[in-house]
Structure 1
Amino acid sequence: MDQSGLLPRRSAHHLLMQITTEGRLMAELIAGGALAQLAPDDRARAQRLATDALRGLDRADRMLKPYLKKPPGDHVMNALRLGLIELMQGEAAYGVVNAYVEIVARNKRSQTMKGLVNAVLRRIADEGPEAWAKRPVPLTPGWLRQPLVAAWGRDAVAGMESAHFAGAPLDLTTKGDPAALAAALGGVVLPNGTLRLAQAGQVSGLAGYDAGDWWVQDAAAAIPVKLLGDVTGLRVLDLCAAPGGKTLQLAAGGADVTAVDLSEKRMTRLTENLARTGLAAQTLVSDAFAVTAGGYDAVLLDAPCSATGTIRRHPDLPYAKDGSEFGALIAQQEALIDHALTLLRPGGRLVYCTCSLLPDEGEVQIEEALARHPGLRVLPPAMAGLDPAWITEEAGLRLRPDYWPDQGGMDGFYIAVLTKPA
């Protein structure tokens, strides 16, 4: 590891700049090599710093505001945010302050602000981590918070924000008995059968990884396949399948699965996971609309969406996005539902799901699909561990981050099982 800590801090600052000013997502940046020049320990540190800063960004800004007469510009502000986060985590003030002063000094446009950064961070350090702990839970940016409050109410959104700030544990779906693996890994089995680890460490180093005994999958993301019940021998089409957790579930359940995704890179990852777990599925790199051969017993459509239900894991999303692309996504979801229905045999089932907290991508889509397709029905959801309070008026399933608060929450999802007229 770089002993001065400057390299990972500069990289964390670069990530924050790209996310907050260029609208880039962290996963996209890392896949593009943003941290490739770092040693493994520094790479992990840079990503963790940027993630922690994004989770606490609203709280950090509120804490910094009394020390700033006017906004200092994005380059300086992001340095202050990162420095504050480190100080509030108990890092030594000397190293933190010097590092972020150096980062600001290296930029020609901001170098005159290094004195401000030095003064503000030293005063913040005097407040200590106790001051941070007393601050309210960070709020979601207004562009997203307003529609969420309109949909679910302030109390529910406050619960979601607490879940977002806390982050997410590691959830695993197992091929065999999750209880046996829980004992080996020190985890707990959730009501839906997901294995949850509060402290995981390096995923590939966990027991059962090389043997392919499990795969990473949030508890909420594991529910859509479970709603199909016994899939043994069924022909199932998994549309928009990558990275493949649901494909693996279907294959493990004995289904004859065809997985389709437009991304060749993401499909490669799915194929690697199939090989690691010893499971089999047909894979096809293709646009979903190009698939025309039908007759499937079931179609699983995890449609492209806003991903607003995954902020626990991806705190960059509300800062990289502004909602401007949601209209196009909603139109695409509608078209995908209509197309997926053409691929079902009579009496077949369509599982529609999105990792979204917005009703327009969930409840409203199903209400409108029922209006467009006479005879289409929603099957009441049934599975172990299902809370009846999650069932919506149209018989879909609404999952939210504030559910299971004492167990670590879950991602936000909407799921509905539709059946085509026989």
Structure 2
Amino acid sequence: MSNASQARRRAIHLLDQVLGEGRLLSECYAAGALDKLPAEERARSQRLATDTLRNLERADRILQKHLKKSTPLTVHNALRIGTVELCQGGAAHGVVNDMVGIISGHRRHGKLKGLVNAVLRKVAEQGSAEWAKLRVPRLPKWLRSPLSQAWGAPAMLAIEAAHLAGAPLDLTAKPGADLSALDATRLPTGSYRIHGSVQVSGLPGFEAGDWWVQDAAAALPVQLLAAQPGELVLDLCAAPGGKTMQIAAAGATVTAVDQSAGRMARLSENLARTGLTATVVVGDALEQTGAYDAVLLDAPCSATGTIRRHPDLPHAKDGSSFGALIELQAQMLAHAWSLVKPGGRLIYCTCSLLPDEGECQVEDALEMFPDMSVGTRLQQLDGIAADWITEEGGLRLRPDYWPELGGMDGFYMAELRKAD
């Protein structure tokens, strides 16, 4: 089997895991799903899977015209990937032959190779014209409904368009580093953006530790924190470490805490590459003690703000775990508040588009803690539009913001000040 065929076969397997087992792509990669592929074909397999997940509704609309009855998931996923490739300009001969070969070799579904051949040949003939007429794919109803209720129908369409477009690569520069060798655009908030597909480790400044990968929205909570040299700062749920490195680069003494030993190993690698220092603790955020000038809580959340880079999420999840997450966020916020010194501050943030995980958490906390108030530093940040600031004084970011620049992740953050 050729490398291209291997990449397509593994992409089918990835879709089987996401759509059949409810597993995230990151979980599949961690389990070694692509380990045996050469680097180029590993990237190709990832691209095929993510492109198909972004265009799942489009692929299914085209396929329904050519399928008289339902097909086994593996076969249907082969047809989906083949349809997306063909409709995006893939060579019909290679795509069709590979998919037929993959299914013919399947021990359970080999007899359906003729169906795969017939359907994909029809798609090759007619699909491109049909594809161009299809609307932007919609999120599954379980997620689309609450987001439409929160932000309105026009915003929902713009968010879905941003999801389909995917995400460029954003970098945070180490203070004093020269990034002029990079073909990058400096964004209004200070991050640097690279469009197109690149090999991160091959970019100028990677080995020197001049920068790290971090979405522009994710870089803002630490700007809001405004860590000062000599301050004691606690970064809860810190891995993979972008915010930890920002705090350390500002000269503060930072302790980074996360439950995942694997992700914390990656954080330590990032610190070593950039020459920055932090105390790294593998542990439960709810078990931390002490008193800090500032605490950053990037709370566990639905991650619905990251769908433009993780299109598997709305298909692998169904929202059933969100209630437990929201309860955990409230517990973590309350515990984090107990670790803030009088006169200190807490930055609460989530990479979620759901108000229940952002605005509502802060509103509830303000009612619960008499010594808590919302800070005003948000108004001093560069690149922030006035209508991004919420009623309770937090910052709401959405994927449809900055459409002319390539969007941003969905995020919520608030600066909470403790009375002296």
**TM tier, smaller:** over 0.9
In 1, distance between residues paired with 2:283 and 2:336? 14
The answer (yes or no) to whether the contact 2:299–2:349 under 8 Å persists in 1 is yes
Cα deviation per residue 1:43-97 (whole Å; 9 max; x = unaligned)?
1111111111111111111121111222213111101100011112222111211
In 2, distance between residues paired with 1:200 and 1:110? 35
Cα deviation per residue 1:124-181 (whole Å; 9 max; x = unaligned)?
1012534323321111111111111011111101111111100000000001357x51
Q: Residue 156 of structure 1: SS of its match in structure 2?
A: helix
Corresponding position of 1:28: 27
Cα deviation per residue 1:229-288 (whole Å; 9 max; x = unaligned)?
352221100000000000000001111100001111100100110000011111111111
Q: Which amino acid aligns with 1:255?
A: A
Within-5 A mapping of 1:5-404: 5-176=4-175, 180-181=178-179, 183-293=180-290, 295-380=291-376, 381-382=378-379, 383-404=381-402
Kindly indicate whether residue 420 of structure 2 is the aligned counterpart of residue 405 of structure 1. Answer: no
Q: Residue 230 of structure 2: SS of its match in structure 1?
A: coil
Displacement of 1:199: 2.2
The answer (yes or no) to whether the contact 2:13–2:74 under 8 Å persists in 1 is no
The answer (yes or no) to whether the contact 2:166–2:308 under 8 Å persists in 1 is yes
Q: Which amino acid aligns with 2:40?
A: D
The answer (yes or no) to whether the contact 2:337–2:346 under 8 Å persists in 1 is yes
Q: Which shifted more, 106-115 or 282-291?
A: 106-115
Q: Which shifted more, 399-408 or 116-125?
A: 116-125
Displacement of 1:379: 1.3
Cα deviation per residue 1:275-328 (whole Å; 9 max; x = unaligned)?
0001111111111111112x2000000000000000011001011111111111
Q: Which amino acid aligns with 2:220?
A: I
The answer (yes or no) to whether the contact 2:372–2:418 under 8 Å persists in 1 is yes
Q: Which amino acid aligns with 1:307?
A: A
Q: Residue 272 of structure 1: SS of its match in structure 2?
A: helix
Q: Residue 159 of structure 1: SS of its match in structure 2?
A: helix
Q: Which shifted more, 131-140 or 392-401?
A: 131-140
In 1, distance between residues paired with 2:216 and 2:71? 41
Q: Residue 206 of structure 2: SS of its match in structure 1?
A: coil
Q: Residue 234 of structure 2: SS of its match in structure 1?
A: strand
Cα deviation per residue 1:89-135 (whole Å; 9 max; x = unaligned)?
22211121111122222334322322221111101101253432332
Q: Which shifted more, 402-411 or 63-72?
A: 63-72
Q: Which amino acid aligns with 2:110?
A: Q
Q: Which shifted more, 375-384 or 78-87?
A: 375-384
Counting aligned pairs with the same residue, the percent is 60
Q: Which amino acid aligns with 1:365?
A: Q
In 2, distance between residues paired with 1:324 and 1:268? 30
Q: Which amino acid aligns with 1:325?
A: S
Provide structure 1 residue ranges, at least 5 long, that are not aligned to the other structure. Answer: none
Q: Which amino acid aligns with 2:271?
A: L
The answer (yes or no) to whether the contact 2:227–2:233 under 8 Å persists in 1 is no
Aligned residues: 418
In 1, distance between residues paired with 2:266 and 2:227? 26
Q: Residue 225 of structure 2: SS of its match in structure 1?
A: coil
In 1, distance between residues paired with 2:149 and 2:171? 33
Q: Residue 227 of structure 1: SS of its match in structure 2?
A: helix
Q: Which amino acid aligns with 2:149?
A: A
Cα deviation per residue 1:18-53 (whole Å; 9 max; x = unaligned)?
000101111111111000111111111111111111
In 1, distance between residues paired with 2:150 and 2:339? 33
In 2, distance between residues paired with 1:151 and 1:104? 43
TM-score (norm 1): 0.96
Q: Which amino acid aligns with 1:29?
A: C
Q: Which amino acid aligns with 1:94?
A: H
The answer (yes or no) to whether the contact 2:3–2:41 under 8 Å persists in 1 is no
In 2, distance between residues paired with 1:167 and 1:5? 23
Q: Which shifted more, 364-373 or 62-71?
A: 62-71
Q: Residue 124 of structure 2: SS of its match in structure 1?
A: helix
Provide structure 2 residue ranges, at least 5 long, that are not aligned to the other structure. Answer: none
Q: Which amino acid aligns with 1:201?
A: V
TM-score (norm 2): 0.97
The answer (yes or no) to whether the contact 2:235–2:297 under 8 Å persists in 1 is yes
Q: CA RMSD in A?
A: 1.3
Go from structure 1 to structure 2 and tell me whether the alpha carbon gap of 1:230 and 1:340 turns closer, same or farther (over 3 Å shift): closer
